[in-house]
Chain A
Amino acid sequence: MAKQLAAVIGTGQTHHTAKRQDVSMAGLCREAIDRAMADAGVDWPEIDAVVLGKAPDLFEGVMMPELFLADALGATGKPLLRVHTAGSVGGSTGNVAASLVQSGVHRTVLAVAFEKQSESNAMWALSILPPFSMPVGAGAGGYFAPHVRSYIRRSGAPEHIGAVVAAKDRRNGARNPYAHLKQPDITVESVRSSPMLWDPIRYDETCPSSDGAAAVVIADESVASGRPAAWIHATAMRTEPTTFAGRDQVNPQAGRDAAAALWREAGITDPLSEVDVAEIYVPFSWFEPMWLENLGFSELGQGWKLTEAGETALGGRLPVNPSGGVLSSNPIGASGLLRFAEAAMQVMGRAGEHQVDGARIALGHAYGGGSQYFSLWVVGAERPGAR
């Protein structure tokens, strides 16, 4: 069966903040859903199915929350899928929803992802020690800091690169009305004087813990034609094991394989020239140059030079995370779908103050687990092949 065309026809997100105590989980999801459906101009009878993504259930203390959220998600009486692929889940949620349309099974699908970290304690949820497993006991920052040190050693990157990323993303976040952190006056120097948390990651180079949700409406060609749309040119997901001798956590093969499959499907041979804007999952500043290399935007060891030269800032050759990215808002389960939605907003020309002028092709990227789960999509202002 030939793959059907699919496009994002609407996006929505919540105001992200540390504790959204004004809404329940249902209210949080519905805030994003209502915005996405208004943006798409669709009503409930047109939604054929709902896909919900979020990170571990222990983050809210509810087992399979899609069950109790069925009414709020508008899923009652319809098919409802619940995806969970660790931190990449938001991206996977978008990709699974896309596949429901691309397979010809449905015409219009609602994808929703959320995390309400204030309901529980993510650090506790991540610190349960299963029998027979090596305890990490470090949280995400402590887990990833050695990978960053290894990257610096291998690439010879100067030590201020991480601060350049953090200052850029937080300033971008100040242009995004939904961002959790808005710091228009942050500088490389102020980042570098913030407290060291996990050497070499400083406080200002670390993502916040956020409550938040994101939603996108994905539709087939018959529905999307004639509307503002972000056409889905390619999707990819890859997984590799957490640990084994010889695994490269700094530049994981699963990420490289996912990127190669993505560019191939999208017909992109020179990503740096052909992609106009990228929303990349950067929870700690140094992951920007690391993922630039992993995704093939630069040669190995050279990604930091794009960052240092300002090429990833708004106005640069490849603006990365004009929304402020994960460094400005991190509702974990939603963070991947936010990347995907922001990519769609860019090619639809709906990114407001953080719009990249003339964006036609955009990347959405998410990763999870111990840098072992990758979900990606490429969206374009035109149908695939029309370029």
Chain B
Amino acid sequence: MAGEVAVVGFAQAPNVRRTHGTTNGVEMLVPVFAELLAATGLSKRDIGFWCSGSSDYLAGRAFSFIAAVDAIGAWPPIAESHVEMDAAWALYEAWVKIRTGEVDTALVYGFGKSSAGDLRRVLALQLDPYLVAPLWPDSVGVAGLQARLGLAAGLWTQRQMAEVAARGQRDVDELLARPYVADPLRAHDCAPITDGAAAVVLASAERAGELCARPAWITGIEHRVETPNLGARDLTTSPSTVAAAEAAGAEGIELAELHAPFSHQEILLRQALGLGERVRVNPSGGALAGNPMFAAGLARIGEAASRIHSGAAGRVLAHATSGPLLQQNLVCVMEGR
């Protein structure tokens, strides 16, 4: 249908604890682009629009995304843009661009090398710089407060949190015997520090069929942000996710990829979205299995889309988050036809 956009390709770098390249992502992105272009049969000159997501603070320098453009080999010059957000929002910008009719393909990418710094402290700088950040509340400690609120409200238990982390493959009792990192969070409740990158190709209705046997059609994509004032939010649910999902038409979902960097957040999101027992959640392992900052949200969209590409699912939901304690959330609903 005219105006529709589909995910027609997805590739990602290995999600690893540490890489030895620069913080601008080039070494991780070059093979990812090669894989993606080979799979879709496109060359870089065929791409109508490029859009990326990354963070200078994570990279420890200004303009890291400019250096990342060297992974493209942007010559002749390209139509390109960048968001200082998870690349799921770069995908949103590219989806908008295709819908203007200006271009019919877009390549979206995100990258993050968390191993270069101290992620817990870096993320503290997302908090209110006048009143909160000077106290250096680190990201794991803040998440622990959220987990504690849910425990106190009876919305989840530490065993349920461990069951999320175990995914039926590890001994829950053994996990619960381990020490706390930030009470009530244990190591298995927290996403690992990860270096990585991800990329997705989007195409218009006119092009998608020739690039992918079974495109993942985006039937709705929406995002919302909440107040930064942690004390003013109900931290045990996610109104912005609920609003985005409602606007995106999240019904009849068979499979969901949720961007939950902490085990309790996967439960929280599942509850907020009303995903029943029959919805398969995070078959990829989710962010708890690999959390490349600024790429992990885009990877959720790519992972969910790949289940449609393979025919394993018919209608899927992908979720991405940004900011402290799920402050900003994006929901992308896709289907195969």
Contacts and interface: CB of A to CB of B under 8 A. Distances in A.
Is chain B a partner of chain A in the same complex?
yes
Interface of A: 1-3, 24-25, 56-71, 75-86, 92, 96, 99-100, 102-105, 119, 125-126, 128, 130-133, 236-242, 244, 252-254, 257-258, 369, 372-373
Contacts of B69: 239, 241-242
A373 B191 CA distance: 35
B70 to A, nearest CB: 6
B228 interface: yes
A241 B101 contact: no
B101 A63 contact: no
A239 B76 contact: no
B75 A132 contact: no
A353 B301 CA distance: 51
B76 A92 contact: no
B60 to A, nearest CB: 7
Given A63-B126, A81-B93, A253-B76, 16 more contacts: A58-B62, A61-B129, A63-B123, A66-B84, A67-B225, A70-B226, A70-B328, A71-B228, A77-B226, A96-B93, A131-B22, A236-B79, A238-B78, A239-B74, A252-B77, A254-B77
B84 A79 contact: no
A253 B77 contact: yes
A135 B128 CA distance: 32
Contacts of B130: 24
Contacts of B226: 70, 76-77
Contact of B225 (A62, A76, A126, A244): A76
B227 A70 contact: yes
B33 interface: no
Nearest to B62: A56
A369 B68 CA distance: 13
Interface in B220-257: 222-229, 239-240, 243
B61 A84 contact: no
A1 B99 contact: yes
B225 A75 contact: yes
Interface stretch (B38-46, B151-159, B272-280, B319-327): B319-327
B77 A239 contact: yes
B24 interface: yes
Nearest to B223: A79
A70 B85 CA distance: 14
A237 B96 CA distance: 15
Interface centre among A68, A76, A128 (most CB of B within 10 A): A68
Contact of A82 (B66, B76, B85): B85
Given A68-B128, A104-B99, A126-B62, A57 B84 contact: yes
Contact of A77 (B65, B92, B129, B243): B243
Given A56-B62, A128-B60, A241 B323 contact: no
Contacts of B239: 77
Nearest to A375: B81
A3 B126 contact: no
B84 A71 contact: no
B22 A132 contact: yes
Given A68-B127, A77-B224, A130-B23, A83 B81 contact: yes
Contact of B323 (A25, A67, A373): A67
Given A81-B83, A239-B69, A241-B70, A71 B2 contact: no
B63 interface: yes
